[in-house]
Amino acid sequence: MANKKEPVDYRKLVLGELDVMHKARVVAGSLESVLIGDKAKAEYESMAKKIALEYKQTGTDNPRVTEDEYKLLSDEQKKKLHEMVFNERQLGALETSLREFKDHSEDIFKVGGKYDPKLGSIGNAKDVRDNMPDKYRDFADLHGQYVTYQNMLKDIKDGKKPRVEDKEQIAQLASGAAAKAEYDNMKKKGYSDKRAELAAQIAGLVGGVNPKNPNVESGAKYIMKEIEKRMKLKEGETIEGKAGEYVSSALMSMVKSGDPKREQMALELYHIAQKGYQIGNQSFDEVFKKEDKKKK
């Protein structure tokens, strides 16, 4: 009885090809570095040689270049071979990724039958907004606000300094939440509206100057709940699932556009959603330290 073929994991396949592009760009971008150029050159030689020896002739199981043939090449011939196979492998990774995106989008964008929640992380990207269907615009606007507060809470939890663009918003959150808490407290104790309002104004003035004010967190959570109500999700729908739906629609529009720049941008955005950074946008050491750990 013939062995049953394992089903292709197209998501894993595409991520693997994007990883090839990522590592190649990192290496190529580090070759001229004064500090790590030698390391990058050694990695480039190793990668190119591996590609040359492992790739098969089209339609056969025969290697393009055998070990014996490789040894017979002059240094200049090896240099040319390395350059050609390195470039061809990147082009192949790009073409394979685009082809699988077009042919197997459901398998790539969904996990366990549902839209990948990671896709929502790129919902605010300009290219996503420019390419998504109009029917998602109202939800996307609300989701953009929701993600802003979500990221703000994550930064606070992780002890990170507030981003410049968030500082004003954090101050307003802290001020508003402190004022509301003080007003409610004064009214509970039976004070007049006027006195409660004055006390609230004082609390709001002071509360807005401290980015670590606990009122920031409570204020952000309150606003997120209000945004959720306005999203009008259907029964069974989730914020992450709906966001994944509109993001995947935008990415598919870009991939099928016939415009090479938009096609590549779709892959870049998908890589950001999955990995948290652009293709090639990591230092040489960060990438290859991770590789060393995997080998161990």
What DSSP assignment string belongs to 23-36? Answer: HHHHHHHHTT-TTT
Q: CA–CA separation, 57 vs 62, rounded Å?
A: 6
Higher pLDDT, 181 or 168: 181
pTM for the model stands at 0.79
- Predicted local confidence at residue 181, as pLDDT: 81
pLDDT at 196: 87
Could you tell me if 33 and 284 are in contact, meaning their C-beta atoms sit under 8 angstroms apart? yes
**Average pLDDT of the residues in 32-40:** 91
**H-only helix segments in 117-256:** 126-131, 137-157, 164-188, 193-207, 214-231, 239-255
Q: Token pair 């591996």 is at which residue?
A: 50
Distance (Å, whole) CA 151 – CA 158: 10
Which spans in 232-259 are helix H? Answer: 239-255
CA distance 228 to 286: 38
pLDDT at 1 over 50: no
User: CA dist 100 to 96, 104, 149, 234, 278, Å?
Assistant: 6, 5, 34, 31, 20
pLDDT of residue 65: 92
pLDDT at residue 145, rounded to an integer: 87
Least-confidence region, from 146-160, 193-207, 208-222: 208-222
Task: Find tokens 């394992």 and name the residue.
Answer: 6
| C-alpha span between 118 and 224 (Å, rounded) | 19
* pLDDT over 60 (residue 211): no
Range picked from 50-64, 148-162, 164-178 for highest mean pLDDT: 50-64
How big is the chain, counted in residues?
296
Looking at the chain, the whole-number percentage of residues with pLDDT higher than 70 is 90
Tell me the pLDDT tens digit for each residue of 244-286.
999 999 999 999 999 999 999 999 999 999 998 989 888 888 8
Q: What is the mean pLDDT of the chain?
A: 87
Confidence check: pLDDT of 207 > 70:
no
Which range is least confidently modeled, 41-55, 188-202, 208-222?
Answer: 208-222
**Using 50, 70 and 90 to split pLDDT, how confident is the model at 153?**
confident
Question: Which tokens is 12 given?
Answer: 């894993």
Q: What is the mean pLDDT of residues 108-118?
A: 92
Q: Is residue 21 over pLDDT 50?
A: yes
Q: What is the pLDDT of residue 53?
A: 93
The pLDDT value recorded for residue 256 is 93
Residue 170 has pLDDT above 80, yes or no: no
- Distances in Å between the Cα of 25 and the Cα atoms of 62, 83, 233, 240, 287 are 28, 13, 41, 31, 11
Mean predicted confidence (pLDDT) in 105-126: 92
